[in-house]
């Protein structure tokens, strides 16, 4: 299994999932430079993933799987005993899919990706930060009120994806302090050894040599 990632991009959720499951050593990690769509050897990343985005996961049979919601569930299902995704066919599994889609489409793409996009006009960024974010993040804040995890009392891949989104907020002008439940939830996730390890490793890759 090979994970194509960019440091501190949403692909960190898959790294976190692998570490949580104790399967970090079963994967190799290939760094992608998203600006140039190249790998470290200079080769064309579009040849791996025509979408030019991370994450992409090369499975042991050579197939490439993309899209966070699919990649995270695939990885979680490699070790069901780790509990990173509720069992297929259960209502909780649909809740997981509901959350992965909400985090991906509403928080990641409609808010963070807009603020991050260097080509987005200032008005679009301000709208995402000041109008959309408060409404969408309030939903997540409500979902974790008095809880350490989004689903039941176990860490799932939805928490891994939420960690990515929340970790960017302070850099994108979104103050988590306005939602105490989100702040507490985020701090709890950040303190998990697997999450802290993934974040430390990827932060180190962002430092200029
Ligand atoms: N729909 C994709 C979106 C993934 C995504 O937005 N990845 C970002 C990094 S966090 C990316 O690769 N951006 C570069 C680009 O879109 O060209 C998914 O859910 O996996």
Quickly state the pLDDT bin for 208 (edges 50, 70, 90).
low
pLDDT of residue 13: 98
Average pLDDT, the chain: 97
Check whether 207 has a pLDDT greater than 80.
no
Q: Which of these three, 19, 54, 83, is where a domain ends? A: 83
**Whole-number pLDDT of residue 109:** 97
Asked, for residue 205, whether it belongs to a domain, the answer is no
Residue 209 has pLDDT above 80, yes or no: no
- Residues 132-191: pLDDT tens digits? 999 999 999 999 999 999 999 999 999 999 999 999 999 999 999 999 999 999 999 999
pLDDT digits (tens, 9 = 90+) for 96-146: 999 999 999 999 999 999 999 999 999 999 999 999 999 999 999 999 999
pLDDT digits (tens, 9 = 90+) for 57-102: 999 999 999 999 999 999 999 999 999 999 999 999 999 999 999 9
Compute the distance between CA of residue 96 and CA of residue 155 in angstroms, rounded to an integer: 11
**The two three-digit tokens of residue 53, written as one number:** 């985005």
**Residue 209 domain-assigned (yes or no):** no
What's the structural domain count of the chain? 2
Using the mean position of ligand 1's atoms as its centre, give its distance from the Cα of residue 62 in Å: 21
With 0-12 / 13-18 / 19 or more C-beta atoms within 10 angstroms meaning exposed / middle / buried, residue 162 is buried
147 burial via Cβ count (<10 Å: 0-12, 13-18, 19+): middle
Rounded distance from Cα 72 to ligand 1 centre (Å): 14
Q: Pick from 31, 33, 48, 53 the residue to mutate for probing ligand 1's pocket: most ligand atoms within 8 Å of its CB.
A: 53
Write the CATH number for 185.
1.20.1050.10
CATH code: domain of residue 66: 3.40.30.10
Domain boundary among 28, 51, 83: 83
CA dihedral 186, 189, 194, 196 (to 10 degrees): 40
Residue minimizing CA distance to atom 18 of ligand 1:
67
**C-alpha distances out from residue 67 to 63, 72, 169, 189, Å:** 14, 8, 21, 22
CA angle 197, 198, 199 (to 5 degrees): 90
| Contact residues of ligand 1, CB 6 A cut-off | 9-10, 34, 52-54, 67-68, 104, 113
Give the pLDDT confidence score for residue 15 in this predicted structure: 98
Q: How far is the CA of 68 from the centre of ligand 1 (A)?
A: 8
Q: Which residue has the tokens 């929340």?
A: 166
* Domain presence at residue 165: yes
* Residue at token pair 């899919």: 97
Q: Pairing between strand 2-5 and 28-33?
A: parallel
Q: Residue 199: inside a domain, yes or no? A: no
pLDDT given at position 204:
96
Is residue 36 domain-shared with residue 54, that is, in the same domain? yes
* 139, 102 Cβ separation under 8 angstroms: yes
In angstroms, what is the span from residue 146 Cα to ligand 1's centroid? 31
Of 34, 186, 185, nearest in space to 113 by CA: 34
- Identify the pLDDT of residue 3: 98
Nearest ligand 1 atom to the CA of 66 is: 20
Q: How far apart are CA 200 and CA 209, in angstroms?
A: 16
- Give residue 5 CA to ligand 1 midpoint distance, Å: 10
Residue 173 in contact with residue 112, Cβ under 8 Å? no
Which domain, by its residues, includes 39?
Answer: 2-83
């Amino acid at each position: 299994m090979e994970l194509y990632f960019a440091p501190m991009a949403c692909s960190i959720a898959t790294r976190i999932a692998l570490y949580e499951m104790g399967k970090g050593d079963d994967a190799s990690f290939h760094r992608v430079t998203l600006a140039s769509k190249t790998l470290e050897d200079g080769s064309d990343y579009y040849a791996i993933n025509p979408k030019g985005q991370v994450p992409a996961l090369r499975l042991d049979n050579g197939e490439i799987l993309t899209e966070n919601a699919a990649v995270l569930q695939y990885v979680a299902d490699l070790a069901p005993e780790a509990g990173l995704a509720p069992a297929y066919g259960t209502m909780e599994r649909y809740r997981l899919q509901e959350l992965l889609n909400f985090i991906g489409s509403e928080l990641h793409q409609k808010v963070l990706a807009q603020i991050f996009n260097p080509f987005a006009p200032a008005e679009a960024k301000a709208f995402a930060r000041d109008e959309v974010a408060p409404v969408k993040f309030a939903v997540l804040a409500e979902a974790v009120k008095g809880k350490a995890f989004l689903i039941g009392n176990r860490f799932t891949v939805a928490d891994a994806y939420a960690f990515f989104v929340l970790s960017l907020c302070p850099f994108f002008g979104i103050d988590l302090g306005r939602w105490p439940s989100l702040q507490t939830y985020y701090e709890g996730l950040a303190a998990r050894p697997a999450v802290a390890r993934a974040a430390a490793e990827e932060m180190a890759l962002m430092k200029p040599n």
